[in-house]
Amino acid sequence: MIRESGFEAVLHWWDDSFIESEIFTKEEQSDLIRKEGLVIENAHLQFNNVNHLWLDTQDGQGAFEGYLSDIDGLAAYDIPVAVMHLTSGQNPPHISDIGMYRIHALVERAEKRGVRIAVENVSNIHILNHVLDTIKSPMLGLCYDSGHDYIWSPAPYKILEKYKDRLFAVHLHDNMGQNDDHLAPGEGRINWDIVRAGVEGSVYTGSYALEIGTATTLKPRTPQEHLALCFESAASVLS
């Protein structure tokens, strides 16, 4: 259905937390995606436990080891980019020595495995700036999320310019400026001319990847209608 709607690539969720409803493991899903002729642009790592990375606790060590395993898994499945949140929620832990040590170690593992880590802009842009400005590895860069940027950044679109030489992934979706709606491009208030120019002016050469949900659609639609709308709206504002 995705391929038939015109898409050539997908974002993959690298976690089995939805196994009961999705049936297939993340590895099995990877095989199915490629069997349908689709490219796996990148894989999103889970973020429910990411705040623990910054804490000197057993849970923090467990989260760290889980991310190391994820990087190994992506390398084994030839998935080139791991998208990762550095924090979760509106009140994450502060930057810590143990957290930075773990991020450094994850980047070192990524360098050895040939997997690039793209850290995504979420509500706490300060931590993302600190990590990217501190760790200069060519295997660490930005995943630009247009929706997050528009609702949480004090200066939307500026992060695209700042890290244009380290843009590894994009998550494109729209909103009304208040909530993380994950609408199709053009259904909200984001200035897509600025976003398009920012992406085109960067080193990024991948797909215009959409991260559009169904929970906040402006009107009911079938899966086929949803995919068609996503493809057509993206084509109209990004081409």
Asked if 6 and 239 touch (Cβ cutoff 8 Å), the reply is no
Token representation of residue 137: 């590895």
Q: Is the per-residue pLDDT at 221 higher than 80?
A: no
Three-state SS for 90?
A: coil
* pLDDT band, very low/low/confident/very high, at 229 (cuts 50, 70, 90): confident
**Per-residue pLDDT tens digits for 127-182:** 999 999 999 999 999 999 999 999 999 999 999 999 999 999 999 999 999 999 99
Token representation of residue 171: 């998550």
Half-sphere exposure of 63 (CA within 13 A, CB side): 24
DSSP annotation of 230: H
List alpha helices for the chain, DSSP H.
19-22, 26-35, 58-76, 97-113, 125-134, 146-152, 158-162, 192-200, 223-238
**Per-residue pLDDT tens digits for 181-212:** 999 999 999 999 999 999 999 999 999 999 99
What is the spatial distance between Cα 150 and Cα 129, in angstroms, rounded to a whole number? 17
Asked if 96 and 119 touch (Cβ cutoff 8 Å), the reply is no
Three-state SS for 94?
A: coil
Residue 105: CB atoms within 10 A of its CB come to: 13
Q: Is the per-residue pLDDT at 102 higher than 70?
A: yes
- What average pLDDT is seen over the chain? 94
pLDDT at 17: 87
Q: Which domains does the chain have, with CATH numbers?
A: 3-238 (3.20.20.150)
The residues, any chain, with a CB within 8 Å of residue 162's CB and separated by 6 or more, are: none
Residue 56: CB atoms within 10 A of its CB come to: 12
Residue type, 232: E
pTM: 0.95
Q: Is 220 exposed, middle or buried (0-12, 13-18, 19+ CB in 10 A)?
A: exposed
pLDDT at 215: 58
* pLDDT band, very low/low/confident/very high, at 107 (cuts 50, 70, 90): very high
